[in-house]
A = this chain, B = another copy of it.
């Protein structure tokens, strides 16, 4: 069994929490490192094993991720936990390689327009960074996984509609460049379940035994329906965010990432065991609530509680 399939076994669903990265991207109040470690540990105790923890960027640009190295070290202490962090340029990749991070995440935009506007580089240049990052990883001691998230894969806030063929072509290019895992992201929450299902079916066929993840936003209320469609189409790795933390910069006031707690309910109700204790996960919400009282938390299961008779309740 390869390392990739140990971390992402194809016969079960993996839920990755991105609240400590995507969820903190736009917040006004930045929680202390101590609180973030408590947040991760409490999620770990609830059964979460995959954590996206931040971004390797100058602390002046993203003070909320200034402690990324400490967070990675703390994750490394948790048996079976897998940490991930973004590297958006060569400097970030070089910095990441020197840590114990389990996965370095590169980002490629689905459209040339968004790539230029957001990252001031072409998509080809973004894929070259994937290639260099993968080479760095292969020549390193720890050999972290290299993943690539394709942003705006279901519609672009600048270019509008995104042809599926383009996304598939980019996914192939990312794997060819050495990515171990490729993600498709509905960055601005444009997609409905039919579109998700159709692209995930193509990704399932393209990837074979390579993993792909689906990163959804609940901007227009389709988050859980889209996750359900992704599972139906063979996707087995879903990103979620505690309390739906993580707004959309292009839709102020809109809800953010799909809510991790509701994703757990969805998966369990569909017969996919997540290994996550939902009551314990819901209890972790008190940490962001305490640390960032100005941020709105989303999620219906947390409000209503579990149905009394669910058989999968732990």
- Provide the residues of chain B in CB contact with A262, threshold 8 Å: 220-222
Q: Mark A109-126, 1 if CB is under 8 A from B, else 0.
A: 000000000000000000
Q: Is the CB of B253 within 8 A of A193?
A: no
User: Which residues of chain B have C-beta atoms less than 8 A from A271's C-beta?
Assistant: 194
- Using an 8 Å CB-CB cutoff, how does the interface string of A124-162 with B read, 1 for contact, 0 for none? 000000000000000000000000000000010100110
Q: Is the CB of A160 within 8 A of B308?
A: yes
| A164 contacts B by Cβ under 8 Å | no
Contact of A155 (CB < 8 Å), options: B195, B227, B228, B307: B307
Among A4-12, A28-36, A298-306, the stretch in contact with B: A298-306
> Which of B221, B229, B300 is close to A265, meaning CB atoms less than 8 Å apart?
B221
Of B268, B269, B300, B304, the contact of A193 (CB 8 Å cutoff): B269
Supposing A192-B270, A193-B270 touch, asked if A254 and B220 sit within 8 A by C-beta, the answer is no
Q: How many identical chains are in the complex?
A: 2
Interface residues of A in 261-283 (CB under 8 A from B): 262, 265-266, 268-271
Q: How far is the CB of A74 from chain B (nearest CB, A)?
A: 30
Minimum CB–CB distance from A134 to chain B (whole Å) comes to 33
**A308 CA to B268 CA, complexed, in Å:** 34
Q: Say if the beta carbon of A241 comes within 8 Å of chain B.
A: no
Residues in B with CB closer than 8 Å to A193 are: 225, 228, 266, 269-270
Question: Pick the contact of A300 from B157, B254, B310 — CB < 8 Å?
Answer: B254
Which residues in window 156-210 of A have CB below 8 A to B?
157, 160-161, 188-195
List 8 other contacts, CB 8 Å, given A194-B271, A221-B224, A224-B224.
A161-B309, A193-B269, A220-B300, A221-B265, A221-B301, A251-B304, A253-B304, A255-B303
A residues with a Cβ closer than 8 A to B are 155, 157, 160-161, 188-195, 218-222, 224-225, 227-229, 248, 251, 253-255, 259, 262, 265-266, 268-271, 299-301, 303-310
